[in-house]
Amino acid sequence: MNVYFSCAIIGGRQDQVIYAALVEALLEDGHEVPTAHLSSASVMEEEAIISPQEVYERDSAWVKACDAVVAEVSTPSHGAGYEIALAICSGKPVLCCYQEGRRVSKMITGNSSPGLEVFSYRTADELIKRARAWLEKVEGELRPFDPGRPM
């Protein structure tokens, strides 16, 4: 699956190790993650050379082309919020996850949009396990009906 990974860039660098563990797991599972670079420790240098318009056009196109969005929302981010809303309005399934005990916008936690799931986690291992289960469920829903496939 083509999975758009969303996270805080400017304010969320303290969570970079968690972002990297999640993205690494998604890639290991064979998913295409066009935003894998966001989990890199050097993302600020990489993104500094791209204009705001280029980022907007690139990221909007990636959201529209993806099969699903996985957003780590422990740190507030205008960009991640925008990407989540764009995905929901585009009919994409969205998973928002955050570290237990962190304050998350009620626009996320109170959202009952179809296809949106929100959960908190305690460890990176728990995050990865739950994200994998969610993606497996989404992938099953996206797969065309095969009458020969066991249910």
Q: Which domain holds residue 136?
A: 3-142
In a domain, 80, yes or no: yes
The DSSP element (H or E) to which 139 belongs, if any, is helix 124-142
Closest Cα partner for 76 from 8, 122, 9? 8
- pLDDT of the chain along its 151 residues, tens only? 999 999 998 876 789 999 999 999 999 999 999 999 888 777 767 777 889 999 999 999 999 999 999 999 999 999 999 999 999 999 999 999 999 999 999 999 999 999 999 999 999 999 999 999 999 999 998 876 555 655 4
How far is residue 128's CA from residue 68's CA, in Å, rounded to a whole number?
A: 15
In a domain, 149, yes or no: no
In a domain, 92, yes or no: yes
In a domain, 19, yes or no: yes
* Count of domains for the chain: 1
Overall pTM > 0.85: yes
The DSSP element (H or E) to which 19 belongs, if any, is helix 16-28
Q: Which two tokens stand for residue 30?
A: 């064979």
- CB 6 within 8 Å of CB 83: yes
Q: What is the CATH number of the domain that holds 33?
A: 3.40.50.450
